[in-house]
Structure 1
Amino acid sequence: MAYIGKWVLGVACLSGLAGLPARGVTIDHSNFAAATSTAMSVMSKVGQLRWFFTHASVGANIVTGMNDLHGTDTNRYRLTIYSVGTAGGGANYRASTNPVSTSNGVIYECDRGNPGWANKLVCFSNSLVTSGWRFPKVNVAMDKFCWIDPDADSTNYCTLISQLEVRYPETLFIYLTMPLSGLSFDQNDERNSFNRYVRSFCAANSKHLFDVADLEAWNQAGVQQTYVSGGVTNQKMSFDYSEDTSSDWHLNATGRRRMALAWYSLAAALFAEDRDSDGSSDGDELLAGTEPANPDSTLEVHIAPQAFAGSGSNMVVSWVASTSRYYSIQRAVELAGSPVWSNRLADSLGANAFTDAVGAAPQHFYRLSARQ
């Protein structure tokens, strides 16, 4: 809140408390179902986010789970799916640029198949850099390996995502662990090694993690499925979530629902976590078009003049507008009880200032809000 004399202006997109230590959200077996009881006010915000997701067959299972969950309760689980095609090949492989315009509450998913783990990273990077699947087109981006990628280099994966985070700071990136097989061999050692590195990297660097492997490893009774190899305890997939018990490690209906709930729980958690401790949650910053990991990137409000001359005076409220954001200003005469807010500026695309005639009023209270 910015206080100037008796004029008070609140920024409606801000929430949370400044000064808390930075950390990332991790969604795993312990909290994947949180979205089932999350406040509807938060789930409404989740329904405003725009996502980009590159994947192959297990990712397609998760997308199916998202569709199915949406069908059970369209008010709580608001995200819908739009399938994006691919373009180019080799070093130019990427998601298509279409659609050019995007909408709130949509997951733009690209099934890029299995071209090899290195080319999967190339495809994801090109999709953002060349095809524009980043801010302001979407808010959140993520790429998922499959269980057939046990040789994927975890350092390369984390390095690429980190580089994209620096290049596109208004876009939020989600890190994912690699799915498992249900066997005590079948290159699960390599998958577990990859996953341990990604978890450690996310914990050390305040990154958001969708822990697919951990979700697969804990069965419905809450027992972790493990095996020991070389003195190291590794996770394996519970048969509760696999299509069969021998070779098909795609997700069955139970597994698909589990992953979909985890996705929503992760999305909801973004509106409770403020990694840059600027008083605005990561999720709210995405909706406002500011950078969720940069404390200097805020919806900063300025009021002029600093003093008022009574009747006939005007007050100018100004701010730095973000790309493709709509701004509204409301005014109330008091905050006690149930304040009555009147619209002064309604849903103005790209607005960065508003002038109000304040006259001789002893006080007014203003509220600025932003949406995409």
Structure 2
Amino acid sequence: MKTSFWSRLVMGVAAVGILGAVSLYFLWDPKRSYEPAPDTAASTITTEVLGKASGARIYFGHRSVGKNILSGVSDVYAAKGVTQPEVVEVPIGGSVPKVAGEGTILHTQIGENGNPAGKLVNFDSMVRSGIADQVDIALLKFCYVDIKWNTDVDALFAEYKQTMADLERDYPNVRFLHATVPLTVGPVGIKGHIKAVVGRDDNATRTRYNELIRGNFDADQVFDLAAVEATSPDGEALTSLYPGYSSDGAHLNASGASKVAVVLLETVARTGQA
């Protein structure tokens, strides 16, 4: 009896240990151990491209990740010793400043996160409020929280595409860019892993939307920030935001912001030559 009891006790302790180890694996929050990737983005862009981009007049509708990107723009220009475009925030419903000459980024923190349809309405109204007469390029970036696992991406994309088509028809002198939706890091904790297993993967749905963007617009009009986020420094293609580019699993740190900013500036420079 004693042998049986002690055997069962040992097995029970071992089982508890294994369960604890598995739980720790799933519950451990990787945000606590993010290691920033080296910030080398500025070395990948030329001063010539920066000069072309700085000559554009841009309108950018965004939220918090957009603020990260604008910070990255400043960092890249500073690192290369090139004067950056003037950055001017225009609040929703606010008066539109007159853009003198070239080299200006007008931007608005558009709408409310979680309501992409509302952001489309806000962007449309802002462009029509006089901004279209002041810029050469315009783009709207949705946030990662705007698309979750249960979002009807086909309906949202149809609404987005129609809004942009109407704006392009009414403002033929403005070149509209199309941004992919940012991603978040892979599953975090047991809840995140379970969601992925049962098909409630937010990033998978965001990727479905992003494929619609990539498949319906010319490549030179697509600002593919999601592709940048999902490519590790050594070139590995991921299905989520590379942790080394993030400060909290969703927003961009300085390294990630600079990498995305470089792609935005390259897209703007290329578009300006179209």
TM-score over 0.5 for the pair = yes
> 1:265 aligns to what?
266
1:179 CA drift (Å): 0.5
CA displacement, residues 85-123 of structure 1 (integer Å, 9 cap, x when unaligned): 122xxxxxxxx2331344411111111252511010000
> 2:237 aligns to what?
224
Aligned counterparts, 1:234-245, within 5 A: 235-244=239-248
Choose the corresponding residue for 1:78, options 63, 78, 84. 84
Q: 1:237 to 1:138 in 2, by over 3 A?
A: same
1:219 CA drift (Å): 0.7
CA displacement, residues 307-349 of structure 1 (integer Å, 9 cap, x when unaligned): xxxxxxxxxxxxxxxxxxxxxxxxxxxxxxxxxxxxxxxxxxx
CA distance in 2, matches of 1:74, 1:263: 18
The one-letter amino acid paired with 2:141 is K
Q: Which structure has the highest helix share of the two? A: 2
The one-letter amino acid paired with 1:210 is F
Q: Unpaired runs of 5+ in structure 2?
A: 1-40, 188-195
Q: Which runs of 4+ in 1 moved over 3 A?
A: 32-35, 42-45, 100-103
1:191 equivalent to 2:206? Answer yes
Aligned counterparts, 1:336-351, within 5 A: none
> 1:307 aligns to what?
none
Where 2:108 maps in the other structure, the secondary structure is strand
Calculate the aligned-residue CA RMSD, in Å.
2.2
Where 2:61 maps in the other structure, the secondary structure is strand
1:146 equivalent to 2:147? Answer no
Asked if the contact 2:144/2:182 (under 8 Å) is kept, the reply is yes
Where 2:130 maps in the other structure, the secondary structure is coil
Asked if the contact 2:72/2:254 (under 8 Å) is kept, the reply is yes
TM-score, with structure 1 as normaliser: 0.54
Aligned counterparts, 1:289-308, within 5 A: none
The one-letter amino acid paired with 1:157 is Y
Aligned counterparts, 1:276-355, within 5 A: 281-282=273-274
CA distance in 2, matches of 1:102, 1:127: 19
1:46 equivalent to 2:53? Answer yes
Q: Which fold has the larger relative contact order, with Cα–Cα distance below 8 Å and residues 6 or more apart in sequence?
A: 2
Choose the corresponding residue for 2:226, options 213, 229, 241. 213
Q: 1:265 to 1:213 in 2, by over 3 A?
A: same
The one-letter amino acid paired with 1:216 is E
Identity of aligned residues (%): 29
The one-letter amino acid paired with 2:46 is S
The one-letter amino acid paired with 1:189 is A
TM-score, with structure 2 as normaliser: 0.72
Q: Which structure has the highest strand share of the two? A: 1
CA distance in 2, matches of 1:237, 1:126: 31
The one-letter amino acid paired with 1:160 is T
Where 1:222 maps in the other structure, the secondary structure is coil
1:149 CA drift (Å): 1.0
> 1:37 aligns to what?
46
Q: 1:201 to 1:207 in 2, by over 3 A?
A: farther
Q: 1:213 to 1:165 in 2, by over 3 A?
A: same
1:239 CA drift (Å): 0.7
1:190 CA drift (Å): 1.4
Where 1:221 maps in the other structure, the secondary structure is coil
1:47 CA drift (Å): 2.1
